[in-house]
Structure formats: C-alpha cells, structure tokens
Structure 1
Amino acid sequence: MNRLALHSRLLPGTEESYEREHARVWPELIAVMRAAGIRDWSIWRSGRDLFHLVDCDDFEAAVAVLATDPVDQRWQQHMSQFVEGFAANPDGAAGQALRHVWTMSEQDQLGS
C-alpha cells in the first residue's frame, strides 16, 4: 500500500483553530511520523469534514508505532479538542481507510 485516504470530522466551531494548529505541525511529530514509515500526509477540509491522504508502505504498522510514541500521544491529546473522530471502516487499514474506488494514473498504467 502506498497511499490511503482517511476521513475525520471536526467538532463544531473548531475549524479555524484546527487550521491554525496545522500551520506548523511540531517538527518532532514529523520526525516520529517519518521514523514510523509515513512519507507524506496531506489534509483537505470541507466544512467540518477532513480528508487525509497518507503515503506509507504499511499504515497499520505505522499506527502501531505511533500509538506507543510519547510525542504522538501528546499530539493526539492536544488535537482531541478539535477532532470529533475518524470515520470507521472495518475493511480499511487500521479500521480507518476509506474504500479506494479509482485512480487516474493507475488506469493509465493498465492501458485504459
């Protein structure tokens, strides 16, 4: 797995604060994420809905590493004042990944 999408939702009224918190994420958190195998993580927002795109070879392994890391635990605790939670998907990686439907570049590689 190289990329996966996640969906989370903000608590009402926290949209601007959430964006301010992500204007510059803690450098030590980025280091921990990279060490866990996450190459990149992007977030888009529509109203209270957040859509995440994660580039990682093994998301479940990365989540397991992060779950025991004190820096990530501190970040998750801090961000809990903004985030209602992640959408659950029992079929997805770590129970969170959205179901992949289509990727243009993958279709191009198959020869349309």
Structure 2
Amino acid sequence: MRIALHTKLKPGAEDEYEGAHREVPPALVAAIRAAGATDWTIWRSGADLFHVIDCESYDLLLERLAGMPVNIAWQARMGGYLDVPHDYSDRDAGLAVVWELNPTESA
C-alpha cells in the first residue's frame, strides 16, 4: 500500500530537520524496513512536509515501530522540530487520493 502524510515543522526548524535527515541512523533505516516499509520519501515546502510511504500495511508499520528503541529515540528528536509530533495515535492521518496517473498496460 502507499500512504501520503502531511506534517508541519516549527517555525525556523527547517535547516535542523534537513540536517537530521542527512544522518538518519542505519539502525533506524533497518528498523523501518523490518517494520514493513519498502520506500519512504519526504518533500518539504517551507514548513510543510509531505511523506509518501510504500508499505505492506500502515497500521502494521506503526504498530511495529512504536516499541522500537531506535524509533522512539528518533521520534523524540523529530518532536523538537515538528509543530505537532507524531504520536502514532492517528492511524487515519493519510491524505486522500484525488487523482493518480497509473502506468498504462501494454496491449
């Protein structure tokens, strides 16, 4: 499944947030993959962050990540940059799909 999320940075946190993502711990990357994510991209426009995650199940991904110490530490760090920290309680936080261009199938 693919899910898109929208989060927001605290004013002035853009550079620190981007700097943190230049040094994502390899253990966190491994934990995210082990939890079921196959791809995760974050775009930033000003203080707005847009995430697109490919995973087997978003609920399962959150459930698996919630108790992992490496993720708990990362979320605590990200909480310093985010206007509203991700607390894993809103499982329906995904953005609604409005339109999608799918690859055409060959005839």
Calculate the TM-score normalised by the size of structure 2.
Answer: 0.88
Q: Aligned residue for 2:84?
A: 85
**As a proportion of its length, which structure holds more helix?**
1
Q: Deviations over 1:2-21 (max 9, x none)?
A: x1100000000000110010
Q: In structure 2, the residue corresponding to 1:50 is in which secondary structure?
A: strand
1:30-45 alignment, distance < 5 Å: 30-45=29-44
In structure 2, distance between residues paired with 1:100 and 1:60: 18
Letter matched to residue 39 of structure 2: D
Q: Percent identity?
A: 42
In structure 2, distance between residues paired with 1:10 and 1:100: 23
**Structure 2: any 5+ residue segments left out of the alignment?**
none
Conserved 8 A contact 2:79-2:85 = no
Q: Aligned residue for 2:92?
A: 95
RMSD of aligned C-alpha atoms? Answer: 2.0
In structure 1, distance between residues paired with 2:76 and 2:32: 16
Displacement of 1:32: 0.3
Letter matched to residue 84 of structure 2: G
Conserved 8 A contact 1:32-1:66 = yes
Q: Deviations over 1:36-61 (max 9, x none)?
A: 00011100000000000101010110
Q: In structure 1, the residue corresponding to 2:84 is in which secondary structure?
A: strand
Across the two proteins, how many residue pairs are aligned to each other?
103
**Structure 1: any 5+ residue segments left out of the alignment?**
88-92
Displacement of 1:24: 2.3
1:86–1:52: structure 2 CA closer, same or farther, 3 Å change rule?
Answer: farther
Q: In structure 1, the residue corresponding to 2:15 is in which secondary structure?
A: helix
Answer yes or no: is 1:22 the counterpart of 2:21.
Answer: yes
